[in-house]
């Protein structure tokens, strides 16, 4: 296995296992806020709404405004390098392309298929709703290199139009989906599935470590795990729907006491493409009221920074193991124009899970506390305390 340093830096742990550094950048929301623009809140659960993906070429991109962990891949021959969001909440790969001349595309690297000897045309288009605008593109085939793992004839989306200021300030050039193929737009084969079918990994597993406190050091490991990035045992739980990385929740506790909010059971999607912890709207009001949080005009929940140490520990009981989140995990301190303010990294969703149970989303707020492992062979997700 080779790693081309001219394209990106990766670390080969063993044959079939590679580590891809993920860089933390300002999110679209943070960059726009510096321009005096506030993005309105959008329900992250819209990303998982029922849709016939197999016959449609629609992908949903409703909640990437706060995502900030990106890594490098290359496309084509010779390779062209791009920063992408590795997203466990979607299945397709797309990048900016020369076919797009909107301002949003012009601020990013663009893939030029004319300069790739391995590119092949596919006459199928896709459409990604995003707020007031939309991202459109076409599918093609080309060689993709992820951490030194080369995938020939990978289906890839090339953008032809991108909307407004949100994508203009985005620090990523595309998205690489890591969910199950059943939700792939246009029925395209995801990158990780081509790695599996090509026997390119030592195990059909990938894992994420997301750094805390704005620090660098985040890592995506393909083909296995890195024991230096977590502590203690891995707690495994089965996937309940082979679409997104959806798992069951037995109980939700506040300061160790069962709330009864999951007495019939709850579900959660483990999603590296969502920044917040997302809660069912029917329980979030009670939770935020108890914290003393207030919603501002942009949908953010604000809290007095002096009260953070008095806030409760929230715990999810999953396959018999409690996974706690202290206040430091779900409260973020911001500094702008010499003013300090604190926000709650918990947002509502108005949609149930695919099986009708209350839906939570374990985004970056949860995943910074827990090293997460995604096992396609056994269809399970593992969590261990992050180092």
Q: Distance (Å, rounded) from C-alpha 63 to C-alpha 363?
A: 11
Q: Distance (Å, rounded) from C-alpha 347 to C-alpha 128?
A: 23
Residue 87 annotated among the catalytic residues of the structure: yes
Q: Distance (Å, rounded) from C-alpha 28 to C-alpha 121?
A: 31
Residue corresponding to tokens 């397709």: 92
Catalytic residue among 66, 193, 271, 375: 271
Residue 193 annotated among the catalytic residues of the structure: no
Burial status of residue 195 (CB atoms within 10 A of its CB: 0-12, 13-18, 19 or more): buried
Catalytic residue among 87, 142, 364, 375: 87
Phi, psi of 247, deg, nearest 5: -135, 165
Q: What is the 3-state secondary structure (H, E, C) of 164-178?
A: HHHHHHCCCCEEEEC
Catalytically active residues, by annotation: 87, 271
């Amino acid at each position: 296995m080779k790693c081309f340093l001219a394209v990106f830096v990766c670390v080969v742990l063993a044959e079939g296992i590679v580590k891809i550094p993920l860089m933390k950048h300002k999110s679209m929301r943070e960059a726009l806020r510096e321009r005096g623009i506030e993005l309105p809140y959008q329900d992250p659960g819209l990303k998982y709404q029922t849709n016939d993906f197999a016959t449609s070429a629609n992908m949903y991109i409703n909640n990437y405004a706060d995502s900030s962990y990106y890594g490098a891949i290359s496309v084509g021959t010779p390779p062209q390098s791009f920063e992408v969001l590795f997203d466990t909440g979607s299945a397709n790969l797309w990048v900016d392309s020369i076919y797009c001349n909107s301002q949003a595309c012009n601020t990013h690297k663009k893939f030029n298929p004319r300069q790739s000897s391995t590119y092949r045309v596919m006459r199928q288009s896709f459409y990604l709703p995003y707020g007031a605008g939309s991202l459109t593109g076409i599918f093609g085939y080309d060689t993709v290199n992820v951490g030194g793992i080369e995938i020939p004839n990978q289906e890839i989306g090339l953008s032809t139009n991108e909307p407004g200021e949100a994508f203009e300030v985005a620090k990523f050039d595309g998205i690489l989906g890591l969910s199950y193929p059943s939700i792939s737009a246009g029925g395209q084969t995801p990158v990780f599935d081509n790695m599996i079918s090509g026997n390119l990994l030592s195990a059909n597993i990938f894992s994420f470590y997301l750094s805390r406190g704005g620090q660098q050091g985040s890592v995506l490991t393909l083909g296995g795990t890195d024991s230096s990035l977590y502590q203690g045992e891995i707690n495994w739980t089965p996937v309940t729907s082979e679409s997104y990385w959806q798992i069951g929740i037995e109980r939700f506790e506040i300061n160790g006491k069962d709330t009864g909010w999951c007495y019939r059971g709850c579900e959660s999607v483990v999603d590296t493409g969502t920044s917040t912890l997302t809660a069912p709207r029917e329980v979030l009001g009670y939770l935020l009221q108890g914290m003393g949080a207030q919603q501002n005009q942009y949908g953010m929940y604000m809290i007095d920074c002096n009260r953070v140490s008095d806030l409760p520990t929230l715990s999810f009981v999953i396959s018999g193991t409690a996974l706690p989140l202290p206040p430091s995990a779900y409260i973020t301190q911001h500094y702008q124009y010499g003013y300090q303010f604190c926000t709650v990294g918990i947002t509502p969703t108005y949609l149930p899970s695919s099986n009708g149970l209350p839906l939570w989303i374990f985004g970056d707020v949860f995943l910074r506390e827990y090293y997460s492992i995604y096992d396609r062979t056994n269809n399970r997700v593992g969590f261990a305390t992050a180092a």
